[in-house]
Chain A
Amino acid sequence: MTQPTHAITRPNEALKHAMKATPLVLFLRTFFLYQIVRFVFINLRMLTMIWKSHG
């Protein structure tokens, strides 16, 4: 067992240090046309993974 090197022991401690998405990234997450393209890519990626894992 390893002892901890750091510990976040109270909620809210690390919230302010987290990376934040830019407004453009947030917009693209639900922008229909962009997500249609991502839908195709993600499906291809997942199909590749399924193919690899079904040996």
Chain B
Amino acid sequence: MARVVVLGAGVAGHTAAMILRRKLSRAHEVVVVTPNRLWNWIPSNIWVGVGLRTKEDVTFELGPVYARAGVRYEQAKAVALHPAGDAEEPKPYVVFERTDAEHRGEREKLTYDYLINATGPKLNFGATPGLGPEANTHSVCTFDHAEKTALALGEAIERMKKGEKLTFLIGTGHGTCTCQGAAFEYVFNLEFEIRRAGVRDQARIIFITNENELGDFGVDGMQLRVGGYVIPGKIFAESLFAERGVEWIIGAHVRKVDPGKVEYETLDGEIHEQEFDFAMLLPPFRGADLKAFDAEGKDVTAELFAPSGFMKVDADYKPKPYEEWRAEDWPKTYRSPKYPNVFAAGIAFAPPHAISRPRSTKNGTIVAPAPPRTGMPSGVMGRTVALSIVELIEHGATAKVHEASLANMGAACVASAGASFWSGTAASMTMFPVVPDYERYPQYGRDLGHTTGEIGSAGHWIKEILHYVFLYKAKGHPGWWLIPE
């Protein structure tokens, strides 16, 4: 009998756990350790943040789903890894701390044969003084944050209806943020709702981002074939902002947020201030800050994890200049080189480097969008890692493991720009591969036949359908496994 422990139940972890349970016989045990009681379809948090969806619409209880599927579920937060066991316990194990109300704070050991680290991001609001819902800005990173943000937006709209003019600041709250797509979606949904409320003239909306240009999205932007030309995605992104009257600030590192005011540094090294009445700024991400110890109890965290807290896997982490970055630097199996029974999937793995060219300001402040690893790629990684573990359990340590490099994987993304059946729109984008490969595609790094983007109501309909389809899949309803990640 083998025990597979999955840390985290986001897109990657939940996908991995469900596939493992489906593929492995009941003689083997699948355990999910996650601090959360609820599963959250995070892409729809954007709509919660503008008051169009509720927490109940985007979440469900994990316990009953795992009970039905035959997955053991521990509501707890992993705090330490002992991948070589120790003097008392020869098997590798993980230490977790319970987070349910009844047993909060209690620590336990759980041995494993295989481990998937899918702990996702830690929202690092602390990186920027004054950032976050506990301080001076809003967030849509969790359903709780998004619900509070929607309430604040509702109040702002009421103030504008009474004649006040307000400034809205939306974007990234640090120079190293990722997930610019979420900020892009939120600013357009907010603008759409303000327009729908009939108070657009009362609102000044500003987008602030660490991207070097709009449409970069942390993937070095996209080139699109349009009308016989190959055009940078930036041109289209800028046109979408301009036609909505949304102003933008690019290449910005937010230094601090005071009540009603941000201080930010731009690539030219200048320090600026921007006042606001309402701000939704995304935080940078960190890894879950797990500690790792060897059999003698020595702290080996630095061997397993990058300084960012993300887990090192089969990538080339040798520091090198941007010009020498190669597609093959990126991991294929997501397996720890030090402990082959440990994998990391989704946001939890440490990228070898950024995808967008990193920049620094004249003062040396780094402004470098981190590479996105969410959504479809995250699900594909979870699936790949699960299938590899099934092979290893069924055919032994020499079995061939599965591969899914971001340099050989595409992504399909639908970014909402306003939610309404008739007048709502969304940008539907595909790209292949996610990490540009200038050896296979020398001119643009990507296959332009599969790198596309367009905006329209069709995108919004797809986004609506995906909301229901992915919740259905995540709930493990009949035929869930037929739905791709």
- Complex CA–CA separation, A18 to B236 (angstroms): 9
Whether B360 is near chain A, meaning CB under 8 Å from some CB there, is: yes
Residue pair B274, A11 in contact (C-beta under 8 Å): yes
CB-CB contacts of A15-55 with B at 8 A, as 1s and 0s?
Answer: 11111110000101110101110110011011011101111
Residue pair A30, B456 in contact (C-beta under 8 Å): yes
Residue pair A2, B266 in contact (C-beta under 8 Å): no
Residue pair A50, B270 in contact (C-beta under 8 Å): no
- Complex CA–CA separation, A48 to B431 (angstroms): 11
From A7, A20, A34, A50, B484 is in contact (CB under 8 Å) with A50
CB distance from B117 to the nearest CB of A (A): 22
- Complex CA–CA separation, A9 to B403 (angstroms): 42
Residue pair B358, A8 in contact (C-beta under 8 Å): no
Residue pair A42, B428 in contact (C-beta under 8 Å): yes
Question: If the complex has contacts A7-B251, A10-B272, A54-B484, are A36 and B458 also in contact, measured as CB distance less than 8 A?
Answer: yes
Task: Report the stretch among B141-149, B388-396, B409-417 that lies at the interface.
Answer: B409-417
Q: Which residue of A lies closest to B267 (CB)?
A: A4
Q: Which residues of A contact B164 (CB under 8 A)?
A: none
Q: Which residues of B contact A17 (CB under 8 A)?
A: 238
CB distance from B386 to the nearest CB of A (A): 13
Whether B310 is near chain A, meaning CB under 8 Å from some CB there, is: no
Looking at chain A, what size class is its interface with the partner chain?
Answer: 35 or more
From A4, A19, A29, A52, B455 is in contact (CB under 8 Å) with A29
Residue pair B450, A52 in contact (C-beta under 8 Å): yes
Residue pair A32, B380 in contact (C-beta under 8 Å): no
Q: Which residues of A contact B430 (CB under 8 A)?
A: 45-46, 48-49
Residue pair A9, B457 in contact (C-beta under 8 Å): no
Residue pair A53, B462 in contact (C-beta under 8 Å): no
Question: If the complex has contacts A20-B243, A42-B458, A50-B484, are A30 and B423 also in contact, measured as CB distance less than 8 A?
Answer: yes
Question: If the complex has contacts A7-B251, A49-B430, are A35 and B242 also in contact, measured as CB distance less than 8 A?
Answer: no
- Complex CA–CA separation, A48 to B410 (angstroms): 10
| Max count, chain A CB within 10 A of own CB: residue among B380, B411, B428 | B428
Whether B481 is near chain A, meaning CB under 8 Å from some CB there, is: no
Q: Which residues of A contact B333 (CB under 8 A)?
A: none
Question: If the complex has contacts A11-B247, A49-B411, are A18 and B206 also in contact, measured as CB distance less than 8 A?
Answer: no
Question: If the complex has contacts A21-B243, A54-B485, are A39 and B461 also in contact, measured as CB distance less than 8 A?
Answer: yes
Residue pair A9, B243 in contact (C-beta under 8 Å): no
Residue pair B242, A49 in contact (C-beta under 8 Å): no
Residue pair A38, B454 in contact (C-beta under 8 Å): yes
Q: Which residues of A contact B334 (CB under 8 A)?
A: none
CB distance from A53 to the nearest CB of B (A): 5
CB-CB contacts of B229-243 with A at 8 A, as 1s and 0s?
Answer: 000000110110111
Residue pair B247, A30 in contact (C-beta under 8 Å): no
- Complex CA–CA separation, A1 to B363 (angstroms): 12
Q: A10-B272, A21-B239, A45-B428 are in contact. List 11 more A-B contacts (CB 8 A).
A: A3-B267, A3-B362, A9-B268, A9-B272, A11-B206, A16-B242, A19-B235, A30-B456, A38-B456, A43-B462, A53-B404
Q: List 8 A-B contacts (CB under 8 A).
A: A1-B360, A1-B366, A4-B267, A7-B250, A19-B236, A32-B422, A39-B462, A42-B458
- Pick the 3 closest A-B CB pairs, nearest first: A4-B267, A18-B242, A11-B247
